Amino acid sequence: MKYKLLSLNVGRPETYETDKGELQSAYRKTPVGDTTYLTHLNFEGDEQADKKHHGGKDKAVCLYPAQHYRHWEEHYGKSFSFPSFGENITVEGIKEENVRIGDIYSLGDAVLQVSEPRKPCYIIARTHGIDDFPARVTEKGYTGFYLRVLREGNVPPGAYMTLIEQHPDGVTVEDVNEVRYHDRNNKRKIKEITSVDPLSESLKQALLKLL
């Protein structure tokens, strides 16, 4: 399975004005038109403002599916340009319901592994001035997800993200979102998800607390 990279985006922390005051964040990323090197922590030129909740090896790359943009544009009656969800890579056709925790993909010279769903936070609401945005994202399940970097390398614009290895446990990003937001008392499912070795340690511990 191959999915096209439509936008490669980086950004550094900055302070900007929102309708609720100043916000320091690296959420407002900018598409880059040149080949960019991906390290185990991030793309060159990318950084996180809140390193407690963002970044690190398990969250080196944030991916958002490009087709979700069309849903949100219809839902809110406004246009959203890449990367309106603060993602590093905007990829067409990839879906939370099909992507498994632990799946391994190539992207340019780099190799990445799915580590956990992305958790929408207040910054999405503050950036776009839409208070219910995080709630609608989790309700719909259009969260996107994070990947860790197994092999560093150059990533050119317009590259294809190609599935190398599908994880045998079969736990999808959608499965994790369902337990995380809608089925928090499902102990059987929590045990199944937390037994998946490539799941990020921080999310694994958070889910185990539900037990």
**Residues 58-80 pLDDT 10s:** 999 999 999 999 999 999 999 99
Q: What b-and-e string marks burial along 102-134, b requiring 16 or more CB atoms within 10 Å of the CB?
A: bbbbbbbebbbbbbbbbbbbebbbbbbeeeebb
Calpha distance 180→101 (Å, rounded): 14
Whether 53 shows a pLDDT value over 90: the answer reads: no
**158: Cβ contacts below 8 Å, ≥ 6 apart:** 4, 5
Q: Closest Cα partner for 57 from 151, 194, 142?
A: 151
- CATH entry, 2-170, from 3.20.20.70, 2.40.33.20, 3.40.630.40, 3.40.50.1820: 2.40.33.20
* Residue 190, SS3 per DSSP: helix
Which pLDDT score is estimated for 54?
62
- Cα dihedral sign for 28, 70, 35, 105? positive
Please tell me the distance from the alpha carbon of residue 86 to that of residue 47, in angstroms, as a whole number. 12
Given a cut of 90, whether residue 49 has pLDDT beyond it is: no
- Which H helix or E strand runs over 23? strand 21-25
Q: Which residue has the higher pLDDT, 22 or 117?
A: 117
Q: Which two tokens stand for residue 19?
A: 């309708």
pLDDT of residue 210: 87
Domain residue ranges in the chain:
2-170
What distance in Å separates the CA atoms of residue 206 and residue 43, rounded to the nearest whole number? 27
